[in-house]
Chains A and B, each alone.
Chain A
């Protein structure tokens, strides 16, 4: 039926993805589903591309009520989510669906204190971050001294692989690759299409064995959440649960499109033979150890989280 004028709940949703990105469209589909299933009682306006709050400010913006709902990456505010950093580690995610499921399982099981200041609706995470370069990288030796675009955690991955991480923003990267300011970039294959960087690299090393991810939250202002009627809360929870899979699938579709894009451009995809893959895995192991050490020092169960992630990756249950 048509809703009562003053009973409509109007919410704003800040999404850091540009409006044409598949993840932004999935977010809009989520908002649409909430609207339809509530019979128009909830109206959500999506502000894409950081047009309400920029990516690093989305989380704090939700706490302060600049937007009621927000989607961004945990990694953009480094140090704020020490326990959840585990999800982004290079543990070798095979695809986005797996990474998304792992991320949700961890958040649900541990409900960490660090995200207690918002109501988490759900999380999702991209497919394996891999290496795309201008010169062929077949072995770790090829990586030595290679200038790789990376920031935050991925710059540590580059360092542990023997490369030289160079920090710059994603919009600058296209040109930096084109001109050779950097020789390579570490990113999910989807980015090569999304940010067009596939145009300016020549090789992709399938380094899935050390595939890292970036987990992204969809959270709501806590006070706002508390003011929602019980049935609407229930609706949010059920629709969100349904959309976990849709986001995971969207990441996999995007990766498939990214792969098709670079193949169409005639770029070479280099597989890593088993022995070499083991070497890469060995090289990034110190990052995992460091995570466990830092979280233990803070009194957080980092070792358990990491073990759970590895169990989930091996097909087990937690």
Chain B
């Protein structure tokens, strides 16, 4: 029993650490977007805009938002209507909550699978960004990874009612 608990604790810590690491990636990407755009605007005053800023902002923005999904789910940052749910008795609440979270797990499992497949397709077809021609298949893989983490986070929420994986 204590072994199982320990294993669960380790897994939870690992999940928490991964979610936080991705949140750091989000922060870095957002700062990068700010920096690149500001430099570009200043350089443009001297008619020397950086070619391909559009592509860079596109890639950084996509990675930033993808990596923020597990974090947002972990701090329970998604909006839900709690009003009717709060009126239910405890037993119904557990049933409804489990049902709703299982649907959520289903949704993000599909998104994981499909995003990975889209990524594979993009890799096979050699799609790149418009100007700098940076490959973009990996962005879809990042989205797949993040959706997979969301599945785990929702599973944690289902098995730990009333708790957040990460304190907001």
Contacts and interface: CB of A to CB of B under 8 A. Distances in A.
B128 interface: yes
Interface string A131-152: 0000000000000011100011
Interface stretch (A77-85, A202-210, A220-228, A254-262): A77-85
A35 interface: no
Interface string B64-95: 00000000000000000000000000000000
A147 B49 contact: yes
Contacts of A152: 130-131
A11 to B, nearest CB: 23
B128 A78 contact: yes
B131 A147 contact: no
B51 A78 contact: no
B47 A82 contact: no
Q: Give the dominant DSSP class at B's interface.
A: loop
A152 B55 CA distance: 10
B159 interface: no
Interface string A15-27: 0000000000000
Given A151-B54, A151-B131, A152-B131, A165 B125 contact: no
Interface string B135-153: 1000000000000000000
A80 B127 contact: yes
Interface in B21-76: 44, 47-49, 51-55
Given A167-B53, A167-B55, A79 B133 contact: yes
Contact of A82 (B44, B49, B126): B126
A249 to B, nearest CB: 29
B13 to A, nearest CB: 38
A60 interface: yes
Contacts of A80: 125-127
Interface string A288-299: 000000000000
Interface in A8-52: none
Contact of B44 (A63, A114, A147): A147
A163 to B, nearest CB: 9
B10 interface: no
B136 to A, nearest CB: 9
Interface residues of B, number: 20
A78 B132 CA distance: 10
Contacts of B131: 151-152, 155-156, 165, 167
A305 interface: no
B127 A167 contact: no
B38 to A, nearest CB: 15
Interface string B113-137: 0000010010001111111010100
Contacts of A82: 126
Contacts of A164: 44, 47-49, 51
Interface in A54-77: 60, 63, 75, 77
Nearest to A163: B47
A166 interface: yes
A159 B51 CA distance: 9
Given A60-B118, A164-B48, A79 B54 contact: no
15 contacts: A75-B130, A77-B125, A77-B127, A78-B130, A78-B133, A79-B125, A80-B126, A80-B127, A114-B125, A146-B47, A151-B54, A164-B47, A165-B131, A167-B53, A167-B54
Interface of A: 60, 63, 75, 77-80, 82, 114, 145-147, 151-152, 155-156, 159, 164-168
